[in-house]
């Protein structure tokens, strides 16, 4: 619906950008004091209501982002109870400090940064505790376990096996690699947004990302590659990392053409790139995993109590 000229003037200059993440979501760019502010259209009205003192809008706004925060906490903590704690602590901390949020970055990026601080705290206080990853794999594969009428039961079983293998491979990564692949390939943040969350440079994010992708691909490759000669020949470059850089737009036209030419005549390297594509597709599917119902209820109740007490 078109805005009136009065409303446009009051809210500042706005234009629609291509969506990031779920379909239908748009981004709005507003100019305030010569600084461009990027805010998801679906969050903007709630943010304005929150700034007007609407406590219900605050709960709705935070609930909108609970899935991504829970998934991130689950991957970083590798424990469902810790993930629930991270989600609840992030929601309450965000509710407490929401007046400080001015929209200089996406709300989700701000929330990820808060959640990351709690994940680091959990890691420091429970570094000697046994690591549990079974529950993470179960929650993260829920979405992929929904039956697909276009696939046979055998194909569904293989899909679940691959999804579980990807989750296990990600869980085994060093935390600095795990967080970048979780944010970039599972939750869909841009490299710049991941850099903002983690406090490192975009170049460092991409370097870690390529290593993480390659490590996960190598872990699940035996499940994807057909039997036969699938070993790269002497002189072949590290094609998986090169292909990952290409996906990030980090190689020039000449290098891209050389890579394509090599893949056209080298079946093993072509297979590596295909397994990397499959790996990234499985990562993307993991981003649809919902928050368990009991966790959602407990966190919602805790957030509601906090918001009511603040009033």
> Where do the domains of the chain lie?
12-142+293-311
102-160 pLDDT, tens per residue? 888 899 999 999 999 999 998 877 543 444 433 333 433 333 343 344 557 666 777 78
Structure tokens given for 258: 């050389």
194-234 pLDDT, tens per residue? 999 999 999 999 999 999 999 999 999 988 876 555 555 65
- Is 50 exceeded by the pLDDT of residue 300? yes
Q: Is the dihedral of CA 159, 161, 164, 169 positive or negative?
A: negative
pLDDT at 213: 96
* pLDDT bucket at 21, cuts 50 / 70 / 90: very low
As a whole number, the mean pLDDT across the chain is 79
Of the ranges 21-25, 81-85, 206-210, 297-301, which one carries the lowest mean pLDDT score? 21-25
- Is 90 exceeded by the pLDDT of residue 19? no
What DSSP designation does 100 have?
A: G
251 φ/ψ angles, rounded to the nearest 5 degrees: -125, 145
**235 Cβ contact list (under 8 Å, min separation 6):** none
65 φ/ψ angles, rounded to the nearest 5 degrees: -110, 10
What is d(CA 264, CA 262) in angstroms, rounded to the nearest whole number? 5
**102 Cβ contact list (under 8 Å, min separation 6):** 37
Please check whether residue 201 is in contact with residue 192, taking contact to mean a CB–CB distance below 8 angstroms.
Answer: no
pLDDT at 23: 35
239 vs 146: which has the higher pLDDT: 239
Structure tokens given for 61: 């706004």
Of 95, 98, 91, 133, nearest to 112 by C-alpha is 91
39-79 pLDDT, tens per residue? 545 788 888 888 888 999 999 999 999 999 999 999 999 88
DSSP codes, 163-227: HHHHHHHHHTS-HHHHHHHIIIIIS---HHHHHHHHTS-HHHHHHHHHHHHHHHHHHHHHHHSPS
Site of tokens 């909108």 = 64
- Which CATH fold would you assign to the domain 12-142+293-311? Rna Polymerase Sigma Factor; Chain: A (1.10.1740)
152-168 pLDDT, tens per residue? 766 677 778 888 999 99
What is d(CA 101, CA 110) in angstroms, rounded to the nearest whole number? 8
Q: Express as a percent the part of the chain with pLDDT over 90.
A: 50
């Amino acid at each position: 619906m078109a805005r009136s000229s009065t409303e446009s003037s009051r809210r500042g200059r706005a234009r629609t950008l291509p969506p990031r993440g779920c379909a239908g979501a748009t981004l709005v760019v507003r100019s305030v004091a010569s600084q461009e502010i990027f805010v998801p259209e679906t969050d903007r009205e709630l943010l304005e209501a929150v700034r007007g003192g609407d406590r219900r809008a605050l709960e709705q706004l935070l609930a909108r982002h609970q899935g991504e925060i829970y998934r991130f906490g689950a991957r970083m903590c590798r424990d469902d109870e810790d993930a629930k704690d991270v989600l609840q602590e992030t929601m309450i901390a965000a509710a407490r400090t929401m007046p400080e949020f001015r929209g200089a970055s996406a709300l989700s990026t701000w929330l990820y940064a808060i959640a990351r601080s709690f994940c680091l705290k959990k890691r420091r206080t429970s570094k000697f505790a046994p690591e549990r990853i079974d529950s993470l794999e179960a929650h993260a594969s829920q979405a992929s376990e929904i039956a697909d009428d276009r696939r046979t039961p055998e194909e569904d079983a293989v899909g679940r096996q691959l999804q579980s293998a990807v989750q296990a491979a990600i869980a085994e990564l060093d935390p600095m690699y795990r967080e970048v692949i979780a944010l970039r390939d599972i939750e869909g943040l841009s490299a710049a947004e991941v850099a903002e969350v983690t406090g490192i440079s975009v170049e460092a994010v991409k370097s870690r990302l390529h290593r993480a992708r390659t490590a996960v691909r190598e872990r699940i490759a035996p499940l994807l590659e057909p039997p036969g000669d699938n070993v790269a020949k002497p002189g072949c470059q590290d094609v998986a990392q090169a292909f990952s850089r290409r996906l990030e737009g980090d190689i020039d036209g000449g290098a891209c053409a050389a890579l394509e030419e090599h893949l056209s005549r080298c079946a093993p390297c072509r297979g590596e790139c295909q397994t990397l594509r499959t790996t990234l597709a499985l990562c993307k599917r993991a981003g649809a995993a919902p928050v368990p119902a009991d966790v959602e209820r407990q966190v919602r109740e805790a957030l509601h109590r906090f918001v009511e007490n603040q009033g």
